[in-house]
Amino acid sequence: MALSKNVLVIVIVALVVVVAAAFYLTQTGPAAGGTVKVGLIAPLTGGLAEHGLDMKQAAILAVDEINKQGGILGKKVELVIEDTECNPTKATAAVQRLLTQENVYAVFGEYCSTVTLAVQPSIMEAKKLLFVPVSVATKITEQGYKYTFRTCANQWMQTTQNADWVVEHLKPKTAAMLGVNDDYGREGLKIWGDRAKSKGVKIVAEEYFDKGSTDFTSQLSKIKAANPDVIFVVANIRDAANILRQAHEIGLYKQFVMLGGVTSDEFLQLADDDALGLVHVSYFEPTSKRPAAAEFVKKFRERWGRNPAMYAAGVWDAFLAFKLGVEKAGTWDVDKVADAIRSLKFEGAQGTIYFDEKGQAQTKVLLVQVQKVGGELKRVILYPPSDKQGEYIPPEKLYGG
Amino acid sequence: MVVQPMELLEQILFGLMIGGIYGVIGVGLTMIFGVMRLSNFAHGEFYMLGAYFTYTFVTLMGGDPFLLAPLAAVAVGAVGIAINRLLFKSLYEELKEAKGAAAFYFQDLKFIMLTIGLSILFVDLALVLWGPIPISIPSPLTKHIVKLPGGLSFSLARLIAFVVAIATLVGLYAFLKFTKTGRAIRATAQNPSAAMLVGVNIYKIYDITMFLSTGLAALAGGILGPIYNVYPTMGLDVVAKAFVVVITGGMGNVIGSILAGFLIGLAESLGGLFLGTEYKQVVAFVIMIIVLWVRPEGILGGGRK
């Protein structure tokens, strides 16, 4: 017995040594002086892992592209990826590791606004750049931080642009709202509701569901009873697919309107024909003809064999802003780089990008409708006119009376 | 607030349908607790595995997920037995030598840590095997809508899920009540030492219990997979609800869990209707707290029936 125990200890120690050695050997890349480290924080495991994957793939692609072109100011970029599971505690620990052990120059992330808000102060205190490619909470760029830059439209921008389009083009008298019961959903419903109310639309139902819910029939049944003209929903792709399927199941065929979170091919696969007719915000469409977008889509497809979702576009643009900012400043001095990024104007995957004083990118979102084109579900751009690909089709036409 | 009668009826209908599923998931968990005195925090992951196995069978063999879900349940049940033999058995043997209540609670703590670890392991395994992107299992039955007079409608899949849930619960009850093995399971639940004395092989009973418990969770996952969708953390989303059902029904009480499943399903629907849907989730936990307060043994008592 004693012998076997000793053997076990030796085996475990040997394993640890071998794994550590292998890890060390694979980690030693180019000389430390010639590289600059940047961190990506994203939910790579847990319930939001599908979105984390988009962020990770775009970041790896962006860093490879930068290095292929000779790096930034002669330095190769090294990417350190940390998983957060969208958990503020885990993310704080991950960011501490990035700041103290990896000594990163900039942090890219996160998906969840709560996580971004949780890690933002420590990154700002450490005087590191924070590029926010996905989190949309308006507050992130409203706190006066000099080193925070967001490369996507924020919640307020996308939600008001959504409400304005709906009121102008669909002319609803009444609307219902349904959202996830957290800061994202609550903020979304408040902004959309206030905007719609200010334009004379009556809100007849306001319902919430908890994270991790799979059944929405009780919310949808209440909305059905309130009989609104349009239904505004704040949900991720999984919830959105369930919501549309269950709405049709209980015979609710009104016009659904959603935010940018559902912009992905996976959503169309998941929701299938139930997605037909849905109008939603998109930050980025892989069908876009603009050269900067087409180039990104081509590279992403070559590398990963699928179309990038909009989160990937946000990450890609964040790395572009980082590279162009440092190059414009001509130095790694963080204050000068932050100033340089504020004065940038460049063509990103999401369109022309420039930042305001607060570090918020000024971008116009697209409004798209899911339609059948040649027997396949496609997002057809309705707005703005410059990108327009087709006309809006009301649900009565798609589904009958 | 004015509630229309049809709206109320619709909420009751959907509440009961969801309640049936809560019952199936809760019953498996309560059986493990009643027979093996084990709080299985990995229970939700067997539900998740059931859904993924069903999906895999559908892609490999073709056919309707509702026909293949029972097969997936048997496969996951076999995984349950394997885990019981590989991981749990040595803990039982240690328990057999330990004496007194303190040893028992210490043991339970080990089980809790072990099953939490298993839960994390399975979620990560699913992430590696099937990827993070949610999957929908196509079935023509989810597209077939049953229309009732008065504007009530639901998919045939949901109706089938409910019928399967009820049939399973009735079958399980009959099995425990009327078969020899069922009697042996109940005997083991009441007093494992006495059961052993009269010739019951309790390790075999533990195997059977694990098979039934994990198989039931997997069956629920397999029949809900086509209705909702399938993703690695889907088990974590139901396990808290399963514990609420088990505690409300009386830990280890099969009939109690079934009733509690319906009670919670219905209460959530009606709570959402009258209090506002943001309180839907809260309603379930409030019921559990009230039950623990006025009747800590559960609505039907903690009897190991």
Residue spans per domain, chain A? 32-153+289-354, 156-282+365-399
- Do A116 and A90 contact (CB within 8 A), yes or no? no
Structure tokens at A17: 């040594």
Class at the top of the CATH hierarchy for domain A32-153+289-354: alpha beta
Higher pLDDT, B98 or A159: A159
Q: Summarize the confidence of residues B167-195 as an average pLDDT.
A: 92
276-305 of B, contacting A, C-beta below 8 A: 276-278, 280-281
Structure confidence by residue, pLDDT tens digits, A247-278: 999 999 999 999 988 988 889 999 999 999 99
Place of tokens 């533990």: B206
Interface test with B, best of A250, A253, A267, A269 (most B CBs within 10 A): A250
Structure confidence by residue, pLDDT tens digits, B193-202: 888 899 999 8
Per-residue H/E/C for chain A: CHHHHHHHHHHHHHHHHHHHHHHHHHHCCCCHHHEEEEEEEECCCCCCHHHHHHHHHHHHHHHHHHHHCCCECCEEEEEEEEECCCCHHHHHHHHHHHHHHCCCCEEECCCCHHHHHHHHHHHHHCCCEEEECCCCCHHHHCCCCCCEEECCCCHHHHHHHHHHHHHHHHCCCEEEEEEECCHHHHHHHHHHHHHHHHCCCEEEEEEEECCCCCCCHHHHHHHHHHCCCEEEEECCHHHHHHHHHHHHHCCCCCEEEECHHHCCHHHHHHHHHHHCCCEEEECCCCCCCCHHHHHHHHHHHHHHCCCCCHHHHHHHHHHHHHHHHHHHHCCCCHHHHHHHHHCCEEEECCEEEEECCCCEECCCCEEEEEEEECCEEEEEEEECHHHCCCCCCCHHHHHCC
Q: For position A388, what pLDDT does the model report? A: 86
Structure confidence by residue, pLDDT tens digits, B225-242: 999 889 999 999 899 899
Residue B199's domain comprises 28-233
Higher pLDDT, A46 or B84: B84
Q: Summarize the confidence of residues A349-362 as an average pLDDT.
A: 92
Structure confidence by residue, pLDDT tens digits, B5-44: 888 999 999 999 999 999 999 999 999 988 888 889 999 9
Helix (H, G, I), strand (E, B) or coil at B301: coil
Please report which confidence band the pLDDT of residue A32 belongs to, taking 50, 70 and 90 as the band edges: very low
Q: pTM for the complete prediction?
A: 0.82
pLDDT higher than 50, residue B294: yes
- Do A110 and A123 contact (CB within 8 A), yes or no? no
* Within-domain flag for B271: no
Q: For position A371, what pLDDT does the model report? A: 95
What are the φ/ψ torsions at residue A38 (nearest 5 degrees)? -130, 150
Structure confidence by residue, pLDDT tens digits, A329-342: 999 999 999 999 99
Q: For position A1, what pLDDT does the model report? A: 45
Listed residue (B72, B70, B54) closest to B62, CA to CA: B54
pLDDT higher than 50, residue A30: no
Q: For position B138, what pLDDT does the model report? A: 85
* Within-domain flag for B130: yes
3-32 of B, contacting A, C-beta below 8 A: 3-4, 6-7, 10-11, 14-15, 18
Look at A218 and B233 and tell me if their CB atoms are within 8 Å.
no
Q: For position A367, what pLDDT does the model report? A: 94
Same fold, A32-153+289-354 and A156-282+365-399: yes
What ipTM score was computed for the predicted complex, to two decimals?
Answer: 0.88
- β-pair partners for A78: A37
97-126 of B, contacting A, C-beta below 8 A: 123-124
Please report which confidence band the pLDDT of residue A28 belongs to, taking 50, 70 and 90 as the band edges: very low
Class at the top of the CATH hierarchy for domain A156-282+365-399: alpha beta
Structure confidence by residue, pLDDT tens digits, A368-386: 999 999 999 999 999 888 7
- Do A147 and A176 contact (CB within 8 A), yes or no? no
Rounded CA separation A140/A187 (Å) = 13
Q: For position B7, what pLDDT does the model report? A: 86
Based on C-alpha coordinates, what's the Rg of chain A?
23
Rounded CA separation A20/B33 (Å) = 41
> Which residues 6+ apart lie within 8 Å of B249 measured at CB?
B26, B30, B255, B256, B257, B258, B259, B260, B261, B298, B299, B300
> In what order do the strands lie in the sheet containing A35-42?
A76-83, A35-42, A106-108, A129-132, A148-150
Cis peptide before A384 (omega within 30 of 0): yes
Q: For position A24, what pLDDT does the model report? A: 59
Rounded CA separation B72/B164 (Å) = 15
pLDDT higher than 80, residue B104: no
* Within-domain flag for B197: yes
Structure confidence by residue, pLDDT tens digits, B22-33: 999 999 999 998
Q: For position A392, what pLDDT does the model report? A: 95
Structure confidence by residue, pLDDT tens digits, A225-254: 999 999 999 998 899 999 999 999 999 999
* Within-domain flag for B67: yes
Instruction: Note whether A251 contacts B: Cβ–Cβ < 8 A.
Output: yes
Number of structural domains found in chain B: 1
> What are the chain A neighbours of B273 within 8 Å (beta carbons)?
218, 221-222
Average pLDDT, chain B: 89
What percent of chain A stands above pLDDT 90?
73
> What are the chain A neighbours of B123 within 8 Å (beta carbons)?
45
Structure confidence by residue, pLDDT tens digits, A311-326: 999 999 999 999 999 9
